[in-house]
Structure formats: structure tokens, C-alpha cells
Chains A and B, each alone.
Chain A
Amino acid sequence: MPLLSIEQLQVEFGGIRAVNQVSLSLEAGEIRGLIGPNGAGKTSIINAITGMVPTRAGRVLFENRDITSFAPHDVSRCGVGRTFQHAEIFPDDSVLDNVRIGVDHHSQVGFLQAAFGLPAARKAESETRSIAIGLLEAFALAPWHGQRAGDLPFGLLKRLDIARAFATRPKLLLLDEPTSGMSEAESKLVVDQIVALSRQYGTALMVIEHNMRVIMQLAERITVLQSGMVLFEGTPAEVQSNHKVIDAYLGEEMTDA
């Protein structure tokens, strides 16, 4: 049984078909790449899975459960996490609090326990803090834990977004261009940590990425999209040698690089 399966998914914006009859499935713990030129529908697929845009047709099944019409927070509650292309962090909160909000996903602390600062709440609070600090350390963000998140440069915000998404310990994490705007060294650190954490938590990954070197190393399988449709699916080696993919996408990308 696949962890996630998308069947004949269709997403439209004002008559424009952003995602057209896309079907794909993902096994538990798998690392999947999602590539394609701009406007191929990659982010729209993530938005559709997480319930942030309505689907026109098709189904999204997660652990055999139809989550197509779920609200975004319910999708998250099922164990599907995501990051954002432009790092949607909470700017006024501290870096630590950003990650703590992710860790809170599993908190059992009740309202009255929190309101009266009962021992159970305080104990949970210190556990939350140490888990969050651990994740900040993994992404080399610990020195800024007390800083207002909105004051950090973009590369750090991307790392924060990823750390926060892992904090919810998702079964499936959808990463939207995790290394964009990062230097080579920074992107290596991030990719290493993503792989390490996904192994540790058993998290399956679906990664949108424009950096071909990153995605070819990271992904076990890659789905290539073009104009909202699946062009090809295979191992990184198969993708790199496929003529359709080279003609449509990799060719220009390789000459760019």
C-alpha cells in the first residue's frame, strides 16, 4: 500500500489548467523528486495535497484515506508536512518559538493546565524547548534562537522553515525548493540534514528542486512535470538519459548551468 497516492488530479485557476490528470504514488520513507520548468504545476500539486487550493477533479489518498477535501490543518494532523517556496515563517516570533510551534503539533497539554501553569504544562514546555533546540542545532540555527525571526537573512529563513516542518514529525514532508537562495556549502548542510532526519523519523519526502545536482543526489525516484502533466518518471539515471526530458527541460537547464 503506497503512503500517498494521487489519482487523476486536476487543479484549475480561472480556466487555466495548472495540474492536468496527474497520477503518482509514493511509498513510506521514499525520497521523491519533483522537477519541471516554471509553471509545470509542481507547487500546485503540493498546494492541492495540503488542501490549500481546491481540486477540480481527482483524488488524494494518504494511508488509504481520502484527504482530497480536508482542511489544511487536518491534512497536517494526518502527518503531512510542508515547507514554502518563500519560507512562510512567523516573523515576529523568535527563531526558537517558530520551531516550538511545530513541536506543539504533538503536545497534549490542555487549556486549563496551560492557563494555571500546572506542573504537567511546565514539564511539557521544557521538553518542547529541548526538542526545538535540537532541531535548531541540526540546521545550524541555534546561535540565533533568541533572535526575532523576521530579522534573519533569507537563507536562514529557508532553514528555519525546514526545521519547523520536521518538528511536526510528519510521515510525509513536501519540500518546495528547500535549497533555493542558498550557497553551495549551505545547501550541502541542509540536504545532509534533510536526509538524516528523514531516515531518523522515517519521513517520506517529496522535493521540488531546481538545482539538478541536488535533486539527482537526493532523490530515489524523480517525477518530471511539464505543462501540468507527468512527462516521465524514473530513477535519476533514467531521467538524465531520457530524450523527452532532455528535450523539454534538462537540455536548457544543463546549458544554463
Chain B
Amino acid sequence: MLVIVLAALAVVPFFLTSYWVYLTNLFLINAIVAVGLNILTGNAGQISLCQSSFMAIGAYTTAVLSARYGLPYWLTLPAAMAVAGGTGALLGYPARRLSDIYLALATFGFLEIFQVVIEEFSDLTGGVRGISIGRPSLFGVTLKSDLSLYCLVLAAAVIMIWVASNLMRSRFGRAFNAVRQSPYAAQALGISIGRVKLITFALSAVFAAVGGSLMAVVVGFIDPLEFNVIASLRQITFIVVGGLGSIAGSVIGALVLTALPELLRGVKEYVGIIYAIILLGFLLFMPGGLITIWAIIRDRIWRKPVKIEGANRAASLD
């Protein structure tokens, strides 16, 4: 499955027009952000309405360092990750004591403040007029063509998804899931809830920053409006539609919802409403997201034996 997807992503863009390559780039960027957000929300169970601010941190770090100081991309990307990771941890610190609606409000507050910060420091950020970013250069080579840019985005997406899946199969991923499911049991096993919140906030911020940094060079222009609360809500839609707590689900959600606005061009004014209907529909009728369809198909094909019957028998050992 994974191999097929990768092969398709490696080959297909050579046959696409530059507009579709651009769209595929956006899909991969959205996928990176969604994978990070899903670790925070789907696995660790923490709400964040400020993922687009972390994206903004990534985008503006890259933009400012390259446009104002002329640093090459291979330096601005790690810088973007470091700045966002640090900010994420800083935000995670007070968030340790908050949950649910209070956490949503706190992160929303952070997002609003960050918007103002971008607008006020216009010498650096270009303020509401935005800032332009040239084509990125890696180790002296400037990525001029769409295709070379695509290769950069694809490589970043593959690495970030690989890191996420490594983490989720480690003790860290298990601890994230434990905190969501039962804070009491998690603590009884020695897991610090505060630390998990701190790590997942920082981690999701780093993923968002990579997405934001790539977006800056793919789009070539950023302004604060790109990173408002609507953008944050859209990212939440990605993971709900794809499947909470699932890496593959995050990618599928990003794919479907990046393509959707293109398919709905004819009814552009209703896109917001359609988004809302999709979100509500999935929450009501398919809370596991699109990924559950894959699970159903897989079980049909391989016919996993259902062992519940046996479980009942052993429950009454006598």
C-alpha cells in the first residue's frame, strides 16, 4: 500500500501540468501539518486552535531569514523548526494545567496575539501587505523548476511521516495515547501528563513549521491572513475526516480536502458550508474517519478471525 502510494507520488508529477504539481505540493504540506496535529489531538487528546500560528512561525522564519538576511533554505528550515518547537513548548507549559474548552480558548488567544504580532512588526514581516520569498536554494543549488521544488516537498513529507510513525510505535507514542484514554492509569504507570502535553505541543508545532516553511517557498508569498483561525479549523477537519489518531488517516484527510475546493470551484461561495457539513457528517456518521473504510476492506480481504467468542469462554475458565 505504502509502496504504491510512494511510487505514484514519485512518478505522476512528471505527467502533470505545473498547476497540478502545485496542488500536489499543497496536499503534501497539508499532510505534514495534519500528521503533526493528529499526534497532538488524535493521540494525546489535546485541542489546539493555533496550529496555523505554528505554520506561520515556520513560514515567516523562512521568509524573514531568506528575504531579509539572504540565508539559504537548508539553514532556514531547521531554524523554523527550532523556533516553532520552542514556541510550542512555551505554549505547552501553561497548557499543562488546561484542558478541553479552556485549552481551546488559550490556543485561540495565542493565535489572535500572533496575528497582531505579524501585523505590528511590519518592518520584518511585511505586515498586512505580506512578504515575498524567492525560490529556495539548497547547498548552492537553486530549485528553479516546479519539479525540483516538488522533490523537496515530497522528501520532507516522507521524512516527517516516517519520523511520526517511528514515534508512534515507540514508548512515546504509547504514552501519548495513554494520556488521552485514561489520565489516571497513565499517571499510575509513571507517565507525566504535563510532560506529554509539553512534548506533543512542541512536536506538532515542529510539524506545522515544516509545513509552513515549505508553503512559503512553494507559494512564494505569505501574508497573515493565510494563518487565521479558519486555517486552523480546516486542519482539524483534515484529521477528523481522515481519522483521529491515524497517520494514514491524516494523509487521506489532507488529500481529500485539498482536492475538494478544486472540485467545488463551480460553487465557490458555498465551500465554507460544505466544509461544515462534511465535518458534522463525519463526526455523526463516521467518527473514525475515512481510514475506517480501509480497515473494513482489509478485514474483508484477509478475514481477520474475530476472537470475542473465545474471550467469553476464557472469561469463565471453569
Find A143's partner among B162, B188, B192, B310 (CB 8 Å cutoff): B310
Asked if B193 is an interface residue, CB under 8 A from chain A, the answer is yes
Residues of chain B in range 31-76 having any CB-CB distance to chain A below 8 Å: none
Contact of A109 with B171 in the complex, beta carbons under 8 Å:
yes
Give the total of A residues in contact with B, Cβ under 8 Å.
51
Q: How far is the CA of A170 from the CA of B166 in the complex (A)?
A: 28
Distance (whole angstroms) from the CB of B206 to the closest CB of chain A: 10
Chain A residues within 8 Å of B189, by CB:
76, 81, 101-102, 104-105, 164-165, 168
- Supposing A76-B190, A153-B311 touch, asked if A93 and B167 sit within 8 A by C-beta, the answer is no
Chain B residues within 8 Å of A52, by CB:
184, 187-188
Q: How far is the CA of A92 from the CA of B173 in the complex (A)?
A: 13
Count contacts between A and B, CB distance < 8 Å: 127
Q: How far is the CA of A95 from the CA of B317 in the complex (A)?
A: 19
- Supposing A90-B185, A101-B178 touch, asked if A143 and B170 sit within 8 A by C-beta, the answer is no
Asked if B199 is an interface residue, CB under 8 A from chain A, the answer is yes
Contact of A184 with B318 in the complex, beta carbons under 8 Å:
yes
Q: How far is the CA of A238 from the CA of B60 in the complex (A)?
A: 75
Identify which of A23-31, A54-62, A115-123, A224-232 touches chain B: A115-123
- Supposing A50-B188, A84-B184, A147-B311 touch, asked if A104 and B317 sit within 8 A by C-beta, the answer is no
Contact of B181 with A91 in the complex, beta carbons under 8 Å:
yes
Contact of B177 with A89 in the complex, beta carbons under 8 Å:
no
Task: Output the residue of A93, A109, A115 with the most chain B CB within 10 A.
Answer: A115
Asked if B5 is an interface residue, CB under 8 A from chain A, the answer is no
Q: How far is the CA of A109 from the CA of B166 in the complex (A)?
A: 12
Asked if A196 is an interface residue, CB under 8 A from chain B, the answer is no
Contact of B314 with A143 in the complex, beta carbons under 8 Å:
yes
Q: How far is the CA of A244 from the CA of B105 in the complex (A)?
A: 56
Closest to A100 in B: B174
Contact of A185 with B308 in the complex, beta carbons under 8 Å:
no
Distance (whole angstroms) from the CB of A122 to the closest CB of chain B: 9
Chain A residues within 8 Å of B300, by CB:
none
Asked if A138 is an interface residue, CB under 8 A from chain B, the answer is no
Closest to B318 in A: A185
Contact of B311 with A115 in the complex, beta carbons under 8 Å:
no
Q: How far is the CA of A77 from the CA of B195 in the complex (A)?
A: 14
Asked if A131 is an interface residue, CB under 8 A from chain B, the answer is no
Chain A residues within 8 Å of B308, by CB:
147, 151
Residues of chain B in range 150-175 having any CB-CB distance to chain A below 8 Å: 162-163, 166-167, 169-172, 174-175
Chain A residues within 8 Å of B199, by CB:
111
Contact of A116 with B166 in the complex, beta carbons under 8 Å:
yes
Contact of B190 with A73 in the complex, beta carbons under 8 Å:
yes
Interface string of A114-148 (1 = CB under 8 A from B): 11110001000100100000000000100110010
Find B315's partner among A73, A81, A156, A184 (CB 8 Å cutoff): A156
With A91-B181, A125-B169 given, can you name 12 additional A-B contacts, CB distance below 8 Å? A73-B187, A74-B192, A76-B189, A90-B177, A90-B178, A90-B181, A92-B177, A125-B170, A147-B307, A152-B311, A185-B318, A186-B315
Interfacial residues, chain B to chain A (CB-CB below 8 A)? 162-163, 166-167, 169-172, 174-175, 177-178, 181-182, 184-193, 199, 245, 307-308, 310-312, 314-318
Interfacial residues, chain A to chain B (CB-CB below 8 A)? 50, 52, 71-74, 76-77, 81-82, 84, 88-93, 97, 100-102, 104-105, 107, 109, 111, 114-117, 121, 125, 128, 140, 143-144, 147, 151-156, 164-165, 168, 183-186, 189
7 contacts between A and B (CB under 8 A): A71-B192, A88-B185, A97-B174, A104-B171, A144-B307, A147-B308, A185-B318
